[in-house]
Amino acid sequence: MAIKLNDKFLNGFVSDHEIHAMDDAVIGAHSKIWNKTGLGNDYLGWVDLPVNYDKEEFLRIKEAAEKIRTSCDILIVIGIGGSYLGARAAIEFCKSPYYNNLKKDTPDIYFAGCNISAQATKELLEICEGKDVCLNVISKSGTTTEPAIAFRIFREMLIKKYGPDCIKDRVYITTDRQKGTLKSFADEMGCQTFVVPDDCGGRYSVLTAVGLLPIAVAGISIDDMMEGAAAAREAFAPCDLENNDCLKYAAYRNILRNKGKKTEILVDYEPCMTMMNEWWKQLFGESEGKDNKGLFPASVVFTTDLHSLGQYIQEGERLIFETILSIKDTGAVVEVPHDEANVDGLNFLTGKSLEFVNSMAYKGAVIAHTDGGVPAMILELDSRTAYDFGYMVYFFEMACGISGYMLGVNPFNQPGVEAYKKNMFALLGKPGYEEQKAELEARINA
Ligand code: PA5
């Protein structure tokens, strides 16, 4: 069992009858997912993905990853949102946040097109000097501005480096199966393509080629990852609130929200979780934040953030609850050394592992925070393997779908993301947006 929910720190915040009262809502949400009867039911491909994926493409992903590993020093993954976060989260979780600096026989992996920063782009162009580079461009729509701009820039870099014929060998494209500008570009240039399935929204796509190609390039076993996801699918399929931790997590989130806890903080104690936190925030933020509803998903990595946000959590406005993701085996053992002079007075820790010290910080913090009025749930994760990653991803995806239906929203659309894009296009002078441009400029200059 890769993930287990421990609810002992909800004592005093949520009572048994409240969880039982969620039974009908959970049964309804569960049925909407598994019988595909809810809003957004065209986007439920992720539910069966771990057992029903394109095996031929899966093999091609492994072959392409091997080719990329042997033909470049750097892979630049170009994408944003759901076309970016999952792969980065997996690489940092399974390998390291320092992945690029580790001794390894796989390429460095950088991410571009996830911002419009001139500085970040210029620095990455400099990093690529004198290195062999491949690109994996990922965009379901093929029209998203940030990755499209980055693709132009890094494509130009490749052509300058290797000449125009290099594109077919150095650019791997993950996009819609049939349509869109990226697909047409790939067909015209002869690039290898991978598919973002029609029935998987961006934030539910990490276990498709979107995530799997960069993850495989990093030398992470995508077989193990799919196996973990498949095990989670089996574990969390039963409609049994008492024994299904995924359903319980969704139910507790909704109970706490109904009690005025409007912000959920995902708490972890390992820096390898930083990007996983970002993936989780997108998953829940885009799935639930609509119709003027939804928990605000926030995250911290302790103990680092105990020295920044710890004060607020302890004594600030009481609108938060914590979901602590605790990794049982982090895969590393480092001990506190002895210091004869004992200048810092820490010799009582001599020989203790950092894991032990970290776990005491965790226990101390959770008790302090619950004493301070912050309910906490603990998700205990076994370790940091590809299997665990797949398991955890599926757990959160399923919990998010269930929780979103319990909230009464469509967890699989993201209409709000368009608002800034329309304004940006208008302000940038995109043809067809003339009226909006004049109106926005008048507001800006008023
Ligand atoms: O979850 C989503 O659907 C979004 O975050 C998208 O992944 C993101 O906007 C990028 O879209 P696209 O893959 O079409 O470039």
For the chain, the domains span 3-37+226-407, 45-220
- pLDDT score of 442: 94
- Residue 82 C-alpha to ligand 1 middle, in angstroms? 5
Per-residue confidence (pLDDT) for residue 277, from 0 to 100? 98
**Residue with CA nearest ligand 1 atom 12:** 139
286 is catalytic: yes
Mutation pick for ligand 1 pocket among 138, 141, 396 (CB with most ligand atoms within 8 Å): 141
By the 8 A CB rule, do 271 and 301 touch? yes
Closest-CA residue, ligand 1 atom 5, reads 81
CB-CB neighbours of 214 under 10 Å: 29
Nearest-angstrom CA–CA distance, 264 and 46: 24
Structure confidence at residue 1 (pLDDT):
74
What is the C-alpha separation between 131 and 72, in angstroms, rounded?
A: 8
Closest atom of ligand 1 to 210 CA is 13
Report mean pLDDT in 10-residue bins for the chain, 446 residues: 94 95 96 97 97 97 97 97 97 98 97 97 98 97 93 97 96 95 95 96 97 98 98 97 96 97 98 98 97 97 97 97 96 95 97 96 97 98 97 98 98 90 90 93 93
Neighbours of 356 (CB within 10 A): 14
State the fold for domain 45-220. Answer: Rossmann fold (3.40.50)
Q: What are phi and psi of 416, to 5 degrees?
A: -70, -20
Domains 3-37+226-407 and 45-220 share a fold: yes
Strands in 108-112's sheet, in edge-to-edge order, are: 108-112, 74-78, 133-138, 171-175, 192-195
Nearest CA to ligand 1 atom 8: 81
Q: Which of 66, 421, 422, 441 is catalytic?
A: 421
For residue 225, give the H/E element and its range: helix 222-235
- pLDDT at residue 314 in the model: 97
pLDDT, residue 143, reads: 86
7 CA from centroid of ligand 1 (Å): 34
pLDDT at 419: 86
Q: Output the CA 367–ligand 1 centroid distance in Å.
A: 39
CA distance 405 to 25: 9
Please state the pTM of the whole predicted model. 0.96
Rounded to 5°, the CA angle 73-77-78 comes to 140
* Bridge pairing between strands 376-383 and 3-6: antiparallel
Distance CA 368, CA 134 (A): 49
What residues form DSSP beta bridges with 265?
298, 322
Helix (H, G, I), strand (E, B) or coil at 26: helix
For residues 242 and 20, what is the distance between their CA atoms, to the nearest angstrom? 9
Alpha helices in 78-217 (DSSP H): 85-94, 118-127, 145-162, 167-170, 181-189, 209-217
- Tell how far the Cα of 184 is from the centroid of ligand 1, in angstroms: 19
Whether residue 172 contacts residue 14, with contact meaning beta carbons closer than 8 Å, is answered with no
Determine the CATH number of domain 3-37+226-407. 3.40.50.10490
Q: Which residues of 30-40 are buried (b: 16+ CB within 10 A; e: fewer)?
A: bebbeeeebeb
Of 43, 111, 137, 140, which is best to mutate to test ligand 1, by the most ligand atoms within 8 angstroms of its C-beta? 140
Nearest to 298 by CA among 311, 310, 282, 314: 282
Mutational pocket test of ligand 1: of 144, 199, 396, the residue with most ligand atoms within 8 Å of the beta carbon: 144
Round to whole Å and give the CA distance between 345 and 347. Answer: 6
Ligand 1 binding pocket, CB closer than 6 Å: 80-83, 139-141, 144, 147, 201-203, 286, 414, 417
